[in-house]
Every structure is written in structure tokens, then in C-alpha cells.
Amino acid sequence: MTEIEPSIHFDKMNKVVSELLKGNSATQIATITGMTRKDVLEYIDEWKSVVHNDTNVRDRAREALMGADQHYDILIKEAWKTVEDADTQGQLNVKSGTLKLIADIEGKRIAMLQAVGVLENNEIASQILENERKQEMLVSILKEVTSNCNHCKIEVAKRLSQITGIVEPIIISQEASDA
């Protein structure tokens, strides 16, 4: 093997990894690079092996992944604020679009984590989505159950805000305070 061959090999691996980190699948990467899908998968596996064995690369990758995950989290929290505002103002089309955006962001975050091998198991991703769905249902139930008690509404809203980081809107009704 000449000195140029390892350089060519690592250049190809870098091209593959660059496309992988953009979110492209092995099939898409093969099309973009002109390599076979089998070669692309081998480069990805080799890259994962190198990353797992190099502590500096692992640390940098972990930091980048955590940063990206935090950014997704911020986007999701902001989107939930938009959902709450749209709900309060009766803008169902904005609420619907924002809920779809949240689902898309979550999907992209899960895809990113799967691409780097953090979520090797689709079951984990499904569990995360299921837990989020249940959380939404619980928040809805709490709001519905406390709708006739202004004191309860305020207390539940405070506690939900502590958990979700979203300031829960409170609508005080005259009828509830008369009851």
C-alpha cells in the first residue's frame, strides 16, 4: 500500500461521514458520492469504530451532539409556547402547524441520535414519542379537571410550568369563582 492510498481512503470516509452528518441515508450517500451502498456502510462502520476508540474525537462528538440536542430542545420549547399562544387566541391553523413542526423537530432529533448510533434501537425512539404523547394527554386532563376551580387552575399551572419550563396560561372564569 502506498502512502497515497490511506489518504484517499480517509478522504472517501470523510465524504461519507460529512453526508451522514447532514442527515443523508446510506443509499443517498452512495448516490451522492458514486460509491456502492456496501462501501458507504463499511466507511460508516469504520468511522464509528474510529470514533469509539479515539477519546478526543468521542469527547468532541459528544459535545456537538449534546449541543445539537439542546438546540432541538430550545426549538421544541419555543414551539410549545407558540402552541399555547395560538390555543389562547383560537388560531387553530397556527396551532396545528406548530404541532406538526414539533413532531418534525422530534423526528429529526431522533434521526440524528440514531445516525450517530446513540439510539440503536427503534424501540427507544418509540418510547420517547409515546411518553411525550402521554405527557400531552396528562396536561390536557389536568387543565380540563381544574377548569371549574380557579385556585386549582393556578396551582396546577404553576406546577406544570415547573416541570415543562413553559408558562401555562390561566383563564380565570367568574362562574368558577362563584361556585
| Band of pLDDT at residue 178, cut at 50, 70 and 90 | very low
Determine the Cα–Cα distance for residues 106 and 111; give it in Å rounded to an integer: 8
3-state secondary structure of 155: helix
What global pTM score does this model have?
0.42
pLDDT at 39: 93
Q: Where are the domains of the chain?
A: 8-53, 68-120, 129-179
Q: Which residue has the cell 395560538?
A: 86
Condensed to tens digits (0 to 9), the pLDDT of residues 6-62 reads: 788 888 888 998 888 888 899 999 999 999 999 999 999 988 887 777 777 667 777
Residues in the chain, overall count: 179
CB 92 within 8 A of CB 86: yes
pLDDT at 120: 58
Q: What is the mean pLDDT of residues 63-91?
A: 86
Determine the Cα–Cα distance for residues 12 and 10; give it in Å rounded to an integer: 5
Determine the Cα–Cα distance for residues 72 and 106; give it in Å rounded to an integer: 8
**DSSP letter for each residue of 165-179:** SSPPP----HHHHH-
Mean pLDDT of the chain: 80
Condensed to tens digits (0 to 9), the pLDDT of residues 130-140 reads: 778 887 888 78
How many other CB atoms are there within 10 angstroms of residue 157's CB atom?
19
Set of cell numbers at residue 130: 409515546
CA nearest neighbour of 160 among 179, 144, 148, 178 = 144
